Amino acid sequence: MTINNNILNEINKDLSFYNNAKLMIVTKNQSIQDIESLISKGYKLFGENRVQEAKQKYEQMLINENLELHMIGPLQTNKVKMALKIFDTIQSIDRYSLVDEICKVSSKNICRTKKFYIQVNIGDENQKSGVHVKDLNDLYTYSIKKKLHITGLMCIPPDIEDPSEYFELMKNIRNKIDKNLNLSMGMSNDYKIALNYNSNMIRIGSLIFS
């Protein structure tokens, strides 16, 4: 695959209108060569869906480059120890057992991960990861009590033409919980809509690689 520089320029132009929004480039299934090319262009914020793939591609680069790597896929409890050594931020906190495991592992090990987002199943879809909206406040409160550094909320809305109502719901939920939390929402097919609802981070992958 090749990097579509025209699309990158278009995304950056869109972002220029939103002072608090960042571009995360999702490099799932992409080569180390493509990542290195993006780094050479000045990109530093990347996202991966799987722990093992991230380790294979980024472990050495994280030592040599000033990068920020986010976990955006479902995280199994048996992969927590590895994940905490690789990622700067984990965006997929969605259950109590995961919070407990992270706290247990981090109390015994030096970890790279310092920030966490709770993933919200904003459309209450059974096939998707994330805490259901009705249970979000309890999980957030539990995470804070366990001293997990929750800095944002993340969502993947239903795959519809206009997910505006879900982005608006996320914004309203965030504002009720803590207006200082970041919002990670918006992907290749809907990032422009998400930006209109105060997304702080858009996660773009397939649109950039062609």
Instruction: Please give the model's pTM, rounded to 2 decimal places.
Output: 0.96
Residue 147: predicted pLDDT: 97
Give the pLDDT confidence of 149-187 residue by residue, as tens digits.
Answer: 999 999 999 999 999 999 999 999 999 999 999 999 999
Comparing C-alpha atoms, which of 19, 61, 134, 13 is closest to residue 48?
Answer: 61
Give the pLDDT confidence of 52-90 residue by residue, as tens digits.
Answer: 999 999 999 988 789 999 999 999 999 999 999 999 999
Residue 142: predicted pLDDT: 98
Please, which residues have CB within 8 angstroms of residue 114's CB and are 6 or more apart in sequence?
A: 88, 89, 149
Q: What's the rounded mean pLDDT across residues 12-40?
A: 95
What is the CATH topology of the domain spanning 5-204? TIM Barrel (3.20.20)
Q: Where are the domains of the chain?
A: 5-204
Handedness of CA 206, 183, 91, 131 (dihedral sign): negative
| Phi/psi at 49 (5° precision) | -95, -25
State whether residue 34 is helix, strand or coil: helix
Residue 64: predicted pLDDT: 77
The Cβ of residue 109 has, within 10 Å, a number of other Cβ atoms equal to 10
Percent of the chain with pLDDT over 90: 93
Reported confidence tier of residue 92, pLDDT bands at 50, 70, 90? very high
Reported confidence tier of residue 19, pLDDT bands at 50, 70, 90? confident
